[in-house]
Structure 1
Amino acid sequence: MLSKYLIFRWFKTAMLLSPGVAIQMVKKSRGVKPTEESKREAEAAVSVVARQVKFNVAEYPVSMYVDRFKNDIDDRYFVPSYQRNLAWNDEQKSQFIESLIIGLPIPFMFFYQTGDGRMEIVDGSQRMRAMRSFLKEGLRLRDLVLVPELNGFSVEDLHADRVNKLEDITIRTIILDTDTDPSTRAEMFARINRMGTTANEAEIRRGSLPGAVTEMITKLAEDRRFVAMTPLTAKAISSREREELVTRFFAYLNRNDTPDGRFPGYRDRPKKFIYDYLKDANSAAKDNPEIIEQMSEEFFRMLDFVRKTFELGFRKNGTANTVPRVRFEAIAVGSALALRKFPDLEVDSKVISERMKTEHFDSVVVSDGANVRSKLEGRIDVVVRMLVNE
């Protein structure tokens, strides 16, 4: 989702050029330095298109958006045909409602006022649908991270004053003038969604759970030894996949065996489980700073062991340019658990390669149903069994 800053910057640049004008300008710019004449032509073209874009900024309460959006097509506010097939699932809807309830900033929405006074939702239909689903259609919140106590709640379960506060929250909307043509509106929608990026889980945890363990995970993810053993695509790297791997390692390792059982609170969806673990780990490190050094040492001891013991490390084959999460989790956590049992453990790498074949390891570490609890436990256990030969 776009920040307010990006939205304003978007309007102040040439982002609203029509596709034809944009293509011509791209062609002119390839390998040719603009002349003074071309600069004047470009400025004139921008001015022409900019004059076509007229808008007002309004701010309405949630209740009004919902009251005017009883369905996607026929009410005062409606979803245009070019985006009707897009839909959030209940988890995405729930997390948006959670954002509203706790007061997180909500990005602008974009409407276009048609000639008959109705509002076409250029950008924001998913948010509108989420609000309607919760306030009018009985949506029960699920998979919440920041306030998991609200999981299972419908609007009827909230206190009346909380419902009133929710309905009175205002969201700003940019309303495009009736003169804005359909192609420009569709292009706006496409560009907003190309520009917008959704924060991944590693980014969310880094931003919402500051602390010593979070900082340690970032450092470990960037360590040259770990980088060398975890080849990833450029996209995965930019999405902080290595931070995700390190966080999962500690979450599954340190909650593998607890007074409350194995992986307490795990519900076949690791997001909340990992979030809760990191929150607790940061709190524990605040009370006992020595934990950080101990965790780092255990991490590097595991890395060194994997490098010596597994011929391909975390990779599936010698030419792999990525490391699947399920494979990493099994090998990393299983190795660390084996080392906790036998700190001086050494196993010949060729023996392990043979045991991996015997155990059909490649068929165990597959992504299909990977987050099912039994499969998570199974792939970790098979590595421990291979290493200690039990």
Structure 2
Amino acid sequence: MANDNDDCEEQLTFFTTEKPHRTQREIEAAESQIVAQLRDVRYVVREYPIEVVVQMYLSGRSEDRNEIYVPDYQRDLIWSERHKSRFVESLLIGLPIPFLFVADVGDEEDPDKAGRLEIVDGVQRIRTLAEFLTGRLTLSCLDRLDRLNGFRFNDLPISRQRRFRRATLRLIELTEAVTEDVRREMFDRINSGSVNLKAVEVRRGMQRGPFLDLVTELAAAPLLHQLAPISDGLRKRFEYEELVTRFFAFLYRYEDYGKGGKVVSEFLLNYVRDTNKKLSSPEGDRIAEEMKRQWHEMLEVVRGYFPDGFKKRGPGRKVPRVRFEAIAVGIGLAIRALKDDGDSFKILHIDNIDEWLESDEFKEWTTSDASNNKSNLVGRLEFVRNKMLGR
């Protein structure tokens, strides 16, 4: 089956070779379509010192109350150390950088986030600046400033630190009138040429097969929708299918995550490919039934012992992927550990679930900005697993 790029190439070949004459009716129809699709994107331009932007990002982050925050759909995007260092180098030598895009989240959309600024484009730049200013980034692979390789922020002269902190960043702030769907569309279009998004598109194309059939079936379960309610916009983007895919990929292979420098998109793609092959084998039906059992047992535990399901407490009550992954996969790992020891999953440790769900440690593991590096992923999955096993 041809992919979107192939279809586009065929159209381009046709229109450049045939050069069909445009009738007045076609021209008018095209103009009408442009008018109908126009977006009313209102914004203001802001300018803040780097130090202020980093403070707005870091202050309250562990409680998911930081003024500038990373939305769940961007959590998986992570720069390499080289990319981070070169970005800092660009700032140090005075090169201009593109505008950051943020959006004021309206009161009605999510009361818990009202007035906060969702990052639409610029997550990695802000993360990198926070790492650099807090001493967690060691510069490397620099070309123009090669004498700074191995430096951290505090190694710079005090005068240079001051100048760096007060250098300004320009932000385009979308007003609260801009909807979540428009914000996501902007993100997709701004990043349409990025490696990460291409990898996601490839994975979706590769999911055709018995594993996709299984994922589609499990994603339609009413119990899942009850425990993890999401917006209609997310449903249309196959968010439930994404949650099911991540559950199995991390349940079976979380310890292999990050090997060879693979990011989450590559990790999931490889898992989908391999599982399609397994489910197409003579043992495929048995494997599929086992996967269904694991999925339904996990959901039953959540229904029985997690009053809020996968939802966060408080206004908004959303289901961030990072929280879903921690709870779902952590429970799945605990059930598997008990069965490996010959025990029933019904003896899971359930007495203090509410206590650790509200603990600072769990919140730290499951903030919307808990990026998917291996230590964070392993940490949150095994935290829930160990709690469910009473460790």
TM normalised by structure 1 equals 0.48
Structure of greater Rg:
1
Larger RCO, structures 1/2 (Cα 8 Å, 6+ apart): 2
